[in-house]
Amino acid sequence: MSTRTIVHSDPDALVTGAAGRLLERLSVLQSTDGVAQLCLTGGRIANRIYRGLAEQLPGSPLDGTRVELWWGDERWVPTEHPDRNAGEALAILAPTLAMDPSRVHPMPAADGNVSIEDSVDGYAAELGETTFDICLLGVGPDGHVASLFPGHPGLESPTGAKVIAVHDSPKPPPERLSLSLATLNRSREVWFVVSGADKAEAVRRAHDGDLEVPAARVRGREATVWLIDEDAASLL
């Protein structure tokens, strides 16, 4: 398993570089595996990368119908709520990425009478034994990834759990769905995308292997790639 850290000069360079890298890698995966399994993350820099990907799609070899989309975590809010990670990502990608609806797997929303615990079971069943070719993850200033927060009970999920319900999240909203550490670590490649000086300490601690930082506990089975800007890398 290899680990690489690629430092870009600023957020714009990070967005352009990460989007181009993602487009190229997904195209290669399609040429060898047929369907590329991609797990998306939320957050400002991730959404900027999705916009960059959408801008680079025209004329590229990427076939959107052969990209399977999953999500690493989601806020437990209604489908149309602006805080939904899936809503913004799909609004950005849908106009240019010709997706197959059967290959788009947003996490459940708080739309009706189904509990968050039942939704966890449903998404775990939908996920099955899927292995992500690429799992994109942001990193919070506290080092959290997906909705796995340092010192929070959700970080230590039961053995075999694929998806967990997060209650009393230290970051609003209080209820969330998240993939477990075990599921994230089953990914072939994990790509951390991180921008900003406020993330520098978390990036440093993760690189140092500080296991109190959730980001330090996630690694791809084949490759782990840190795509960061100079501000995020300033303490390395």
How many domains does the structure of the chain reveal?
Answer: 1
Question: Among all chains, which residue has been given the structure tokens 């690493």?
Answer: 72
Backbone angles phi, psi at 146, to 5 degrees: 50, -130
Domain-located, residue 57: yes
Domain-located, residue 236: no
CA dihedral 183, 184, 188, 190 (to 10 degrees): 170
What is the pTM assigned to this prediction?
0.96
Range of the domain at 95: 2-229
Task: Answer for the pair 81, 75: CB distance below 8 angstroms, yes or no.
Answer: yes
Domain-located, residue 234: no
Domain-located, residue 235: no
Conformation bin of residue 62: beta by default, left when phi > 0, alpha when psi is -120 to 50: beta
In tens digits, what is the pLDDT along the chain, a chain of 236 residues? 899 999 999 999 999 999 999 999 999 999 988 999 999 999 999 999 999 999 999 999 999 999 999 999 999 999 999 999 999 999 999 999 999 999 999 999 999 888 999 999 999 999 999 999 999 999 999 999 999 999 998 888 777 899 999 999 999 999 999 999 999 999 999 999 999 999 999 999 999 999 999 999 999 999 999 999 999 999 99
Conformation bin of residue 59: beta by default, left when phi > 0, alpha when psi is -120 to 50: left
Domain-located, residue 196: yes
Looking at residue 63, which CATH number applies to its domain?
3.40.50.1360
